[in-house]
């Protein structure tokens, strides 16, 4: 499905990021992924996927480091080849009510989830534009478009992912670059690990599938969107929520 393609995934050592890296690699892509502090997990992923059809390599990167992002892009394209697919997956959350959110908390979540996406995209986009080819997939959340009991700053940041996706898709269409977003509901793993048990039960009660999703299920959709099989899908935000 992705033989001969290259992909870069931010936040590749988390539950969702790792599932995406594994899914893309299984589909035949050469995959680079970023990590900020979990070098041991990055090496573990590299070893796990050593026999994949394409190369798999981790790159240390703070997504808020613009210069670092440019350097990682240069290293990636030198080692794995020109970038075909960018997955903006890195993100954080904090479980706290609005009244307890301080300015620093707000800035931290918005910086990683929104500014980090902007800086990484800016770094990798230059090559896509030059080649008039590319595919960008942003990881959003159901919290960005539905009334859910989630932290306000997290929901706000994921709403921004939607605006970023739609606007960028319109601007980049002339360069044959597609931009879509995947918006998972509650997943076992990632930020879903911090959801209180009461909210997990309530979600499952309203979910037609009656359970949280798995990171691999979100990763499967990302891999489809990364492939040519989805060539007529652009400027879309696709929910993976079990039917809420």
Catalytic residues, by residue number, are 154
Q: Which residues pair with 237 in a beta bridge?
A: 181
Residue with tokens 């299920």: 217
Q: Rg of the Cα trace of the chain? A: 17
Q: How far is 129 from 168, CA to CA, in rounded Å? A: 13
Other beta carbons within 10 Å of 64: 17
Measured CA distances, 207 to 203, 226, 241 (Å): 6, 27, 8
- Half-sphere CA count of 116, side-chain side, radius 13 A: 27
**What's the CA gap between 85 and 46, in Å, rounded?**
19
């Amino acid at each position: 499905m992705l033989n001969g393609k290259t992909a870069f995934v931010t936040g590749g050592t988390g539950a969702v990021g790792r599932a995406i890296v594994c899914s893309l690699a299984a589909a035949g892509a050469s995959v680079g992924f970023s990590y900020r502090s979990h070098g041991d997990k990055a090496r573990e992923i590299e070893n796990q996927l050593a026999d994949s059809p394409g190369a798999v390599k981790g790159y240390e990167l703070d997504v808020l480091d613009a210069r670092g992002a440019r350097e990682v892009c240069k290293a990636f394209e030198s080692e794995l080849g020109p970038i075909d697919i960018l997955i903006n997956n890195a993100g954080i959350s904090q479980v706290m009510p609005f009244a307890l959110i301080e300015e620093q908390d707000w800035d931290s979540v918005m910086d990683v989830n929104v500014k980090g996406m902007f800086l990484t995209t800016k770094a990798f986009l230059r090559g896509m534009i030059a080649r008039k080819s590319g595919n960008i997939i942003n990881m959003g959340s159901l919290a960005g478009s539905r009334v859910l009991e989630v932290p306000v700053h997290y929901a706000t940041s994921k709403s921004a992912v939607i605006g970023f996706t739609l606007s960028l898709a319109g601007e980049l269409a002339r360069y044959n670059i597609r931009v879509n977003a995947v918006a998972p509901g509650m997943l076992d793993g990632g930020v879903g690990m911090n959801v209180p048990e009461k909210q997990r039960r309530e979600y499952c009660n309203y979910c037609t599938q009656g359970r949280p999703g798995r990171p691999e299920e979100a990763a499967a959709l990302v891999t489809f969107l990364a492939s040519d099989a989805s060539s007529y899908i652009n400027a879309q935000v696709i929910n993976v929520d079990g039917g809420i």
